[in-house]
Chains A and B, each alone.
Chain A
Amino acid sequence: MLLVLLLVPLFAAVVLAFIGDRRFAPEINIAGSAATFAAGAGLAVQVYMEGPMLAGGKFFFVDAFNVYLSVLTSFVSMTTAIFSRRYMRREREHGRVGHIRMRFYHAMFQLFIFAMLLCLLTNNVGVLWIAMELATLSTVLLVSLYRTPTAIEAAWKYFILCGVGIAQALFGTVLLYFAAEKVLGEGGEALLWTNLSRISGELEPTVLSLAFVFLMVGYGTKVGLVPLHNWLPDAHSEGPTPISAVLSGLLLNIALYALVRCKVLVDGATGTHHAGHIMMGFGLLSILVAAFSLLRQKDIKRMFSYSSIEHMGIATFAFGLGGPVATFGALLHMLVHSLAKSSIFFTVGHASQMHRTQEMDRIKGLFRGNPLVGWGLMLGVMAIAGMPPFGIFTSEFLILTATMKDAPLLTPFLLLGLAVAFAALFRRVQPMVAGDVPSYQKPMKAAHIPVLLHMALVLVIGIYMPDFLNKWFHTAVELLK
């Protein structure tokens, strides 16, 4: 099941590299992603029934933490593929992308999913790094797909800054291997996460704390934590919207996943809360800076990119805080943020296609122009801003409670960040959805399945947490202790 999960997107990428510009290519894309999702769900059921497992000669490894992210990844990529069918068709009609670029787009989309899944499922910390770099590389040229000066600039920034950042992570990995080799002996065994977590108490604490600084800077760049976030708003706003959706919704999660895995090892080795404090610092800074930057945005996709930074900051902060409640909240937050944010990007994509601009001042009257897009955006923003009864409210509430208990002095800052972000988002969304339809707005058929599905899920999780999800998170919390 695990191999199927990895091979499907890879196979789809190869197929789409040849026929990605045909009329039925988007359907193949959807079929591939659906098959990936099916495999992911199958794997989840298997893990749910039988517990954590190793596969492929210890090369792959699945536990509660990464299986839930794999299901999430395959699910969101499936819905994004559905959304991208309409979206990219429209872009093609507008003449923004040609044949070759369509082919390239589809192939790279699948390759990107493959890289993310490999990141999640691999047991080898070195391969984790490689897959992360692969995920970056496969999306760089997607960001510059439109070949406008700004798109190329954004992609270049993305390429260079993430390249620099991720290099630091490799150095951290080298140091980690150095420490592990002393305990586990040489050879590939010393980089396997299952081995590392078993002996993390014996690793040299000084080396590990040093390694964590590098890993934090490296993977933190990919998470988009302030002050390493410079590339993120550009990359997320200049590419095609389906790519923005998966970058914001999935790739950030994956990077955070890598960071959390490393943190577990470092905590085990040092026996202190040193790594957690660093993460809390970065997280809180990200929340505050992103919240205040939200106020200044004019471009709609840019604004939601900053919102992604803010939410990643919240999750990082919560993981850094540690403890069962905060970790539970962080896991839940990753899930609901990913669903809500990609849904928002779907509606934003349609909205900007209808107005042929990404400037918020020129987007108006969405409720009347296209109720699905308007309400989708409105509800999405309500969800992402943390209004009950959506799932993000639950996760943020949990995180806030844990903060009040463990670090009460930081609560006001957290609240301030959340409040500012809330205000900034609503101030902007109100004029876009309400009012009359402007003359330049063009009606279009929106892809409604992805938006509805995502919002429904966020709502359901907010009102009633399914039992299996609850149990899952609890297992994951145990793992990350």
Chain B
Amino acid sequence: MNIHIAAQINSFLAAFVLLTAFGMLVQRRMYGLVHLFTWQGLFLSLNTAVVGYVAQRHHLYISSVLTLALKVILLPYILHVLIQRLKVHKEIETVVNVPMTMLIGIALVIFSYHLMSPVRELSTLVTRSTLAVALATVMIGLLMMITRKHAVTQIIGFLAMENGLFFAATSATYGMPLVVELGVALDILIAAFIFGIFFFHIHTTFDSLDVEQMARLKEED
């Protein structure tokens, strides 16, 4: 596989990561969201492997397998189980103003591109152009957490953000040092258990996973 083709595959997968990010932004159904998240993880994992092959960084294979195990298998499984146990799979979230959200998403992509252009200039890596997409994925995850009002959706937004960060590390520097990647993966794992516990707490306390009703703590006058 020559560098040219690999770069194209890389940007291709980057495009798909971005596409799934947008998909999650407007997807209403819970399972649909989880599936999109799984796809995103898969693209990410493939991308990492391709980059690892091109750049001859063998520790990226480990990251790739780690991503596959964590973000394609484990986390979606946990989310599936939680959604089923908490019986929220039929809950359809009201997403306000989809076109507006999409437009903001597009604006964020442009913003990220603009922000990352100096870095792109300085980089010599094959993957340099995907850095903007990575930042855009982070930003869209952020947007998702702001616009959505369901606990599960917010968590998926959070995980999508984490995906974007991982992607950024791969495209900016061919991955962080292994000890950091492992540590981040561990943190995500702990976070997964914590939000699992949280869902149950929220569900038993508020009878639903809608976080809109959690609005008691406000500044009183």
Contact = CB atoms under 8 A, between A and B. Distances in A.
Contacts of B119: 175, 178, 206-207, 210
Contacts of A207: 118-119, 122
Contacts of A129: 180, 184
Interface stretch (B18-26, B27-35, B82-90, B190-198): B190-198
B13 interface: no
Interface string A415-444: 000000000000000000000000000000
A232 B151 CA distance: 20
Given A127-B183, A163-B158, A204 B122 contact: yes
Contact of A187 (B177, B202, B217): B177
Interface in B170-184: 172-174, 176-180, 183-184
Contacts of B216: 149-150, 153
A181 to B, nearest CB: 5
Interface stretch (A83-91, A139-147, A404-412): A139-147
A262 to B, nearest CB: 16
B177 A170 contact: no
A1 interface: no
Contact of A167 (B138, B214, B219): B138
Contact of B184 (A159, A164, A170, A234): A170
A181 B180 CA distance: 15
B177 to A, nearest CB: 4
A296 B218 CA distance: 12
Nearest to B201: A152
A386 B142 CA distance: 39
Nearest to B170: A174
Interface in B77-124: 115, 118-119, 122-123
B217 A160 contact: no
A467 to B, nearest CB: 39
Interface in B144-170: 145, 151, 154, 158, 161-162, 165, 168-169
B172 A174 contact: yes
Contacts of A147: 201, 205
Contacts of A190: 177
Interface of A: 124, 126-127, 129-130, 133-134, 137, 140-141, 144, 147-150, 152-157, 159-160, 163-164, 167-168, 170-171, 173-175, 177-178, 181-182, 186-188, 190-191, 204, 206-207, 210, 234, 238, 293, 296, 298
Interface of B is mostly: helix
A440 B89 CA distance: 48
A339 B37 CA distance: 45
Given A167-B165, A206-B118, A296-B220, 4 more contacts: A134-B187, A137-B194, A144-B198, A149-B216
A13 to B, nearest CB: 13
Contact of B173 (A137, A154, A170, A178): A178
A16 to B, nearest CB: 17
Interface residues of B, number: 49
Contacts of A188: 177-179
B133 interface: no
Given A126-B183, A171-B138, A296-B219, A191 B191 contact: no
B12 interface: no
Which 6 residue pairs spanning A and B have beta carbons closest together?
A126-B180, A130-B183, A188-B177, A153-B214, A178-B172, A133-B187
Nearest to A170: B165
B73 interface: no
A126 B173 CA distance: 13
Given A149-B206, A156-B151, A178 B183 contact: no
A155 B179 CA distance: 29
Contacts of B151: 156
Contact of A164 (B123, B142, B205): B142
Interface string B204-221: 011000010011110111
Given A149-B205, A156-B151, A167 B172 contact: no
A83 B188 CA distance: 32
A251 to B, nearest CB: 16
A56 to B, nearest CB: 12
Given A156-B214, A178-B173, A171 B142 contact: no
Contacts of A167: 138, 141-142, 158, 161-162, 165
A178 B125 CA distance: 11
A178 B123 contact: yes
B205 A124 contact: no
Contacts of A170: 165, 184
A142 to B, nearest CB: 11
B69 interface: no
B174 A130 contact: no
A263 B118 CA distance: 20
Contacts of B174: 186
A185 B220 CA distance: 54
Contacts of B168: 171, 174
A95 to B, nearest CB: 17
